[in-house]
Amino acid sequence: MNNYMRFEFPAKSENEKLARTVCAAFILELDPTIDEVDEIKTAISEAVTNSIIHGYENDTGTVCIEGDITGREVTYIVRDAGCGIDDIQKAMEPLYTGKPGAERSGMGFSIMEAFMDELRVESCPGKGTTIIMKKRISEDAG
């Protein structure tokens, strides 16, 4: 089973729910478990929130999400054209936050890594960030 989708939306916090819903609906053809849907929704939420809060610093911009299903593996790519990340390794450390005064927990990448089978982050300061996440949906899910 192969499928593909792509959508863009303004980098506004209220659109995080839209992203979660679209990405969850996209995998329904694979008959995932409730846990698998919840894990994907949470990982997408973290990636989109990072784009809005850190990438655009709550300024105007666009977030793009691409989804690809190949067999029973889903890949999501969350991309922004925001400020980028200077030190990806540092940013991926648990509890690290670039906005300590903003009550951020610094667990976004750790959560994405915990809930997805694969996580890759690419970024160029001043040009944006791309987060690639993959998850295999179990055969006997439903």
The catalytic residue among 36, 50, 79, 113 is 50
Active site residue 104: yes
Active site residue 120: no
Torsion of CA 122, 10, 118, 111, to 10 degrees: 110
The catalytic residue among 39, 46, 79, 113 is 46
Active site residue 2: no
Catalytic site residues?
46, 50, 104
